[in-house]
Chains A and B, each alone.
Chain A
Amino acid sequence: MQRLAFAFLAGGLFGAGLFVSGMTDTAKVQGWLDVFGDWDPTLAFVMGGAILPMALAWALTRGRAPLVGGSFPTRSEPRLGRNLVLGSTLFGAGWGLAGLCPGPSVASLSYGGWPHWLFFAAMLAGMFAAPRVRARLDKALPAG
Protein backbone atom coordinates (compact mmCIF):
# COMPACT_ATOMS: atom_id res chain seq x y z
CA MET A 1 0.00 0.00 0.00
CA GLN A 2 2.83 2.35 0.95
CA ARG A 3 4.61 1.45 -2.28
CA LEU A 4 1.51 2.38 -4.29
CA ALA A 5 1.05 5.67 -2.42
CA PHE A 6 4.66 6.69 -3.11
CA ALA A 7 4.32 5.63 -6.75
CA PHE A 8 1.21 7.79 -7.07
CA LEU A 9 3.00 10.73 -5.38
CA ALA A 10 6.03 10.36 -7.67
CA GLY A 11 3.81 10.13 -10.74
CA GLY A 12 1.80 13.13 -9.57
CA LEU A 13 4.96 15.23 -9.20
CA PHE A 14 6.16 14.02 -12.61
CA GLY A 15 2.83 14.94 -14.25
CA ALA A 16 2.63 18.29 -12.44
CA GLY A 17 6.19 19.14 -13.42
CA LEU A 18 5.63 18.23 -17.06
CA PHE A 19 2.49 20.36 -17.09
CA VAL A 20 4.03 23.40 -15.37
CA SER A 21 7.25 23.27 -17.40
CA GLY A 22 5.41 23.52 -20.72
CA MET A 23 6.90 20.25 -21.96
CA THR A 24 3.50 18.96 -23.09
CA ASP A 25 3.45 21.80 -25.62
CA THR A 26 4.86 20.13 -28.72
CA ALA A 27 5.83 23.52 -30.17
CA LYS A 28 8.20 24.16 -27.23
CA VAL A 29 9.87 20.77 -27.64
CA GLN A 30 10.24 21.13 -31.40
CA GLY A 31 11.36 24.72 -30.80
CA TRP A 32 14.19 23.42 -28.63
CA LEU A 33 15.24 20.88 -31.26
CA ASP A 34 15.03 23.54 -33.97
CA VAL A 35 18.53 25.00 -33.81
CA PHE A 36 18.20 26.45 -37.32
CA GLY A 37 14.95 28.24 -36.53
CA ASP A 38 13.69 30.34 -33.64
CA TRP A 39 15.47 28.33 -30.94
CA ASP A 40 13.56 27.92 -27.66
CA PRO A 41 15.88 27.10 -24.71
CA THR A 42 13.11 26.13 -22.24
CA LEU A 43 13.81 22.38 -22.41
CA ALA A 44 17.38 22.93 -21.22
CA PHE A 45 16.02 24.66 -18.08
CA VAL A 46 13.62 21.76 -17.51
CA MET A 47 16.40 19.16 -17.87
CA GLY A 48 18.75 21.15 -15.65
CA GLY A 49 16.05 21.64 -13.03
CA ALA A 50 15.15 17.95 -13.03
CA ILE A 51 18.74 16.73 -12.82
CA LEU A 52 19.45 18.74 -9.61
CA PRO A 53 17.09 16.88 -7.21
CA MET A 54 17.86 13.59 -8.96
CA ALA A 55 21.61 14.01 -8.45
CA LEU A 56 20.94 14.70 -4.77
CA ALA A 57 18.74 11.59 -4.60
CA TRP A 58 21.45 9.38 -6.11
CA ALA A 59 23.90 10.75 -3.53
CA LEU A 60 21.42 9.90 -0.76
CA THR A 61 21.13 6.26 -1.89
CA ARG A 62 24.67 5.57 -0.68
CA GLY A 63 24.66 3.33 2.37
CA ARG A 64 20.85 3.29 2.55
CA ALA A 65 17.93 1.17 1.37
CA PRO A 66 14.65 2.29 -0.22
CA LEU A 67 12.01 3.47 2.28
CA VAL A 68 9.56 0.67 1.48
CA GLY A 69 12.22 -2.04 1.40
CA GLY A 70 14.14 -3.85 -1.29
CA SER A 71 17.32 -2.44 -2.75
CA PHE A 72 18.36 0.37 -5.03
CA PRO A 73 18.95 -0.35 -8.72
CA THR A 74 22.52 -1.37 -9.37
CA ARG A 75 24.55 0.58 -11.87
CA SER A 76 24.32 -1.18 -15.20
CA GLU A 77 27.61 -1.92 -16.88
CA PRO A 78 28.41 0.73 -19.49
CA ARG A 79 27.41 -1.36 -22.50
CA LEU A 80 27.00 0.88 -25.48
CA GLY A 81 25.45 -1.61 -27.85
CA ARG A 82 23.66 -1.27 -31.12
CA ASN A 83 20.25 -1.31 -29.45
CA LEU A 84 21.06 1.75 -27.32
CA VAL A 85 22.28 3.77 -30.30
CA LEU A 86 19.73 2.60 -32.86
CA GLY A 87 16.84 2.78 -30.37
CA SER A 88 17.75 6.28 -29.25
CA THR A 89 18.07 7.41 -32.85
CA LEU A 90 14.62 6.05 -33.76
CA PHE A 91 13.17 7.58 -30.61
CA GLY A 92 14.74 10.95 -31.39
CA ALA A 93 13.31 10.92 -34.91
CA GLY A 94 9.80 10.30 -33.54
CA TRP A 95 10.32 12.90 -30.81
CA GLY A 96 11.29 15.52 -33.40
CA LEU A 97 8.47 14.52 -35.70
CA ALA A 98 5.66 14.98 -33.16
CA GLY A 99 7.30 16.88 -30.29
CA LEU A 100 6.14 14.24 -27.82
CA CYS A 101 8.00 11.69 -25.72
CA PRO A 102 6.53 9.03 -23.40
CA GLY A 103 6.16 11.10 -20.19
CA PRO A 104 4.47 14.18 -21.71
CA SER A 105 2.30 11.96 -23.92
CA VAL A 106 0.70 10.52 -20.76
CA ALA A 107 0.58 13.83 -18.86
CA SER A 108 -1.29 15.51 -21.73
CA LEU A 109 -3.94 12.80 -22.27
CA SER A 110 -6.59 14.75 -20.36
CA TYR A 111 -6.27 17.97 -22.34
CA GLY A 112 -4.35 17.35 -25.58
CA GLY A 113 -7.30 16.04 -27.55
CA TRP A 114 -7.37 13.26 -30.16
CA PRO A 115 -3.88 13.85 -31.64
CA HIS A 116 -2.36 13.00 -28.24
CA TRP A 117 -4.49 9.86 -27.95
CA LEU A 118 -3.53 8.76 -31.45
CA PHE A 119 0.17 9.31 -30.73
CA PHE A 120 -0.22 7.46 -27.41
CA ALA A 121 -1.97 4.49 -29.07
CA ALA A 122 0.72 4.27 -31.76
CA MET A 123 3.41 4.47 -29.07
CA LEU A 124 1.81 1.57 -27.17
CA ALA A 125 1.70 -0.43 -30.42
CA GLY A 126 5.39 0.31 -30.94
CA MET A 127 6.20 -0.79 -27.39
CA PHE A 128 4.19 -3.97 -27.94
CA ALA A 129 6.12 -4.71 -31.13
CA ALA A 130 9.52 -3.78 -29.69
CA PRO A 131 10.49 -7.22 -28.29
CA ARG A 132 9.87 -8.76 -31.72
CA VAL A 133 11.83 -6.00 -33.45
CA ARG A 134 14.68 -6.58 -31.02
CA ALA A 135 14.63 -10.37 -31.61
CA ARG A 136 14.65 -9.87 -35.38
CA LEU A 137 17.54 -7.40 -35.14
CA ASP A 138 19.51 -9.82 -33.00
CA LYS A 139 19.00 -12.54 -35.60
CA ALA A 140 19.94 -10.36 -38.56
CA LEU A 141 22.84 -8.51 -36.95
CA PRO A 142 24.13 -10.32 -33.85
CA ALA A 143 25.90 -7.32 -32.39
CA GLY A 144 24.41 -7.14 -28.90
Chain B
Amino acid sequence: MWNAIPLDWIWGLVGGLIIGTGGAVYLLANGRIMGASGIIGGLVDGSGRGSAAERLAFLAGVVLLPILLKPLYRPFETHASTNVAVLVLAGLLVGIGTRLANGCTSGHGVCGISRLSLRGIVATVFYILAGGVTVALLRHALEVI
Protein backbone atom coordinates (compact mmCIF):
# COMPACT_ATOMS: atom_id res chain seq x y z
CA MET B 1 0.00 0.00 0.00
CA TRP B 2 2.98 2.28 0.59
CA ASN B 3 3.23 2.88 -3.14
CA ALA B 4 4.23 5.85 -5.27
CA ILE B 5 1.18 7.98 -4.53
CA PRO B 6 1.90 9.12 -0.95
CA LEU B 7 5.50 9.77 -1.99
CA ASP B 8 4.19 12.18 -4.63
CA TRP B 9 2.34 14.06 -1.89
CA ILE B 10 5.56 14.37 0.12
CA TRP B 11 7.45 15.63 -2.94
CA GLY B 12 4.56 18.03 -3.51
CA LEU B 13 4.81 19.38 0.02
CA VAL B 14 8.62 19.70 -0.17
CA GLY B 15 8.40 21.40 -3.58
CA GLY B 16 5.68 23.70 -2.26
CA LEU B 17 7.85 24.74 0.69
CA ILE B 18 10.69 25.53 -1.75
CA ILE B 19 8.32 27.55 -3.97
CA GLY B 20 7.07 29.50 -0.96
CA THR B 21 10.65 30.14 0.18
CA GLY B 22 11.37 31.61 -3.27
CA GLY B 23 8.36 33.87 -2.89
CA ALA B 24 9.53 34.87 0.59
CA VAL B 25 12.99 35.80 -0.75
CA TYR B 26 11.50 37.85 -3.59
CA LEU B 27 9.24 39.67 -1.16
CA LEU B 28 11.61 40.24 1.77
CA ALA B 29 14.73 41.03 -0.29
CA ASN B 30 13.34 42.82 -3.36
CA GLY B 31 9.93 43.90 -2.10
CA ARG B 32 8.22 42.17 -5.04
CA ILE B 33 5.31 39.77 -5.31
CA MET B 34 6.38 36.53 -6.98
CA GLY B 35 3.74 36.26 -9.68
CA ALA B 36 4.91 34.41 -12.77
CA SER B 37 2.33 35.92 -15.14
CA GLY B 38 3.11 39.44 -13.94
CA ILE B 39 6.87 38.96 -14.22
CA ILE B 40 6.60 37.56 -17.77
CA GLY B 41 3.71 39.77 -18.88
CA GLY B 42 5.49 42.96 -17.90
CA LEU B 43 8.32 42.01 -20.25
CA VAL B 44 5.97 41.11 -23.09
CA ASP B 45 3.71 44.18 -23.07
CA GLY B 46 6.42 46.64 -22.05
CA SER B 47 4.80 47.66 -18.75
CA GLY B 48 7.75 46.28 -16.79
CA ARG B 49 10.48 47.90 -18.85
CA GLY B 50 11.93 49.68 -15.81
CA SER B 51 12.56 46.39 -14.01
CA ALA B 52 13.41 44.21 -17.03
CA ALA B 53 16.79 43.06 -15.66
CA GLU B 54 15.26 41.93 -12.38
CA ARG B 55 12.51 40.04 -14.22
CA LEU B 56 15.01 38.36 -16.53
CA ALA B 57 17.25 37.37 -13.60
CA PHE B 58 14.24 35.75 -11.92
CA LEU B 59 13.25 33.86 -15.07
CA ALA B 60 16.84 32.73 -15.64
CA GLY B 61 16.71 31.08 -12.21
CA VAL B 62 13.39 29.41 -13.03
CA VAL B 63 14.80 27.86 -16.21
CA LEU B 64 18.26 27.02 -14.89
CA LEU B 65 17.55 25.21 -11.62
CA PRO B 66 15.52 22.40 -13.21
CA ILE B 67 18.40 21.87 -15.66
CA LEU B 68 20.81 21.45 -12.72
CA LEU B 69 18.42 19.21 -10.75
CA LYS B 70 17.33 16.99 -13.58
CA PRO B 71 20.32 14.61 -13.56
CA LEU B 72 19.77 13.95 -9.82
CA TYR B 73 16.10 13.25 -10.15
CA ARG B 74 13.97 10.29 -11.09
CA PRO B 75 13.09 10.71 -14.76
CA PHE B 76 9.59 11.78 -15.52
CA GLU B 77 7.32 12.58 -18.41
CA THR B 78 5.41 15.87 -18.52
CA HIS B 79 2.53 14.18 -20.38
CA ALA B 80 1.83 17.37 -22.32
CA SER B 81 -0.71 17.26 -25.11
CA THR B 82 0.74 16.99 -28.61
CA ASN B 83 -2.38 18.48 -30.17
CA VAL B 84 -1.30 21.79 -31.72
CA ALA B 85 -4.78 23.35 -31.49
CA VAL B 86 -5.11 22.41 -27.80
CA LEU B 87 -1.69 23.85 -26.95
CA VAL B 88 -2.23 27.11 -28.86
CA LEU B 89 -5.74 27.67 -27.50
CA ALA B 90 -4.64 26.85 -23.94
CA GLY B 91 -1.62 29.16 -24.18
CA LEU B 92 -3.72 32.06 -25.50
CA LEU B 93 -6.33 31.58 -22.77
CA VAL B 94 -3.67 31.44 -20.05
CA GLY B 95 -1.85 34.48 -21.45
CA ILE B 96 -4.91 36.70 -21.89
CA GLY B 97 -6.68 35.44 -18.76
CA THR B 98 -3.80 35.89 -16.33
CA ARG B 99 -3.06 39.41 -17.58
CA LEU B 100 -6.71 40.40 -17.46
CA ALA B 101 -6.97 39.04 -13.91
CA ASN B 102 -3.55 40.44 -12.97
CA GLY B 103 -2.25 37.15 -11.63
CA CYS B 104 -2.08 33.39 -11.83
CA THR B 105 -1.45 30.43 -9.54
CA SER B 106 1.68 31.98 -8.03
CA GLY B 107 0.59 35.62 -7.69
CA HIS B 108 -3.09 35.23 -6.76
CA GLY B 109 -2.77 31.70 -5.38
CA VAL B 110 0.46 31.48 -3.36
CA CYS B 111 1.15 35.17 -2.66
CA GLY B 112 -2.48 36.35 -2.46
CA ILE B 113 -3.99 33.62 -0.31
CA SER B 114 -1.06 33.76 2.13
CA ARG B 115 -1.90 37.40 2.93
CA LEU B 116 -5.65 36.63 2.91
CA SER B 117 -6.20 38.89 -0.09
CA LEU B 118 -9.85 38.81 -1.14
CA ARG B 119 -8.85 39.32 -4.79
CA GLY B 120 -6.43 36.40 -4.60
CA ILE B 121 -9.00 34.11 -3.02
CA VAL B 122 -11.75 35.04 -5.51
CA ALA B 123 -9.37 34.63 -8.49
CA THR B 124 -8.28 31.22 -7.19
CA VAL B 125 -11.86 30.03 -6.75
CA PHE B 126 -12.69 31.04 -10.34
CA TYR B 127 -9.64 29.54 -12.04
CA ILE B 128 -9.99 26.27 -10.14
CA LEU B 129 -13.71 26.09 -10.97
CA ALA B 130 -13.04 26.88 -14.64
CA GLY B 131 -10.21 24.35 -14.75
CA GLY B 132 -12.35 21.68 -13.10
CA VAL B 133 -15.26 22.29 -15.46
CA THR B 134 -12.91 22.23 -18.48
CA VAL B 135 -11.38 18.90 -17.49
CA ALA B 136 -14.79 17.42 -16.65
CA LEU B 137 -16.27 18.50 -19.99
CA LEU B 138 -13.33 17.68 -22.24
CA ARG B 139 -12.24 14.48 -20.52
CA HIS B 140 -15.50 12.89 -19.39
CA ALA B 141 -18.24 14.41 -21.56
CA LEU B 142 -16.43 14.89 -24.89
CA GLU B 143 -13.42 12.64 -24.17
CA VAL B 144 -10.98 14.80 -26.15
CA ILE B 145 -8.20 15.34 -23.58
Which residues of A come within 8 Å of B, CB atoms? Answer: 2-28, 30, 33-37, 40-58, 60-61, 64-73, 75-76, 78-80, 83-103, 105-113, 115-116, 118-131, 133-134, 137
Contact = CB atoms under 8 A, between A and B. Distances in A.
B37 A19 contact: no
Interface string B68-87: 01100100111111101011
Interface residues of B, number: 107
B126 interface: yes
Given A13-B25, A115-B80, A83 B100 contact: yes
Nearest to B82: A115
Contact of B60 (A11, A16, A19): A11
B57 A8 contact: yes
B99 A17 contact: no
Given A15-B62, A33-B132, A126-B99, A22 B12 contact: yes
A107 B128 contact: no
A110 B23 contact: no
A68 to B, nearest CB: 6
A93 B97 contact: yes
- Minimum-distance CB pairs A-B, first 5: A126-B95, A49-B16, A21-B15, A122-B91, A11-B61
A106 B16 contact: no
B63 to A, nearest CB: 6
A7 B86 contact: no
A89 B23 contact: no
A111 to B, nearest CB: 6
Contact of B36 (A4, A97, A101, A116): A101
A49 B110 CA distance: 9
A91 B27 contact: no
Interface string B40-69: 110011010000011101111111111101
B136 A35 contact: yes
Interface in B1-31: 8-31
B94 A123 contact: yes
Contacts of B24: 53-54, 56-57
A67 B29 contact: yes
Given A13-B18, A94-B97, A45 B13 contact: yes
Interface string B88-109: 1111111111111110111011
A28 B124 CA distance: 18
Contact of A112 (B16, B78, B138): B78
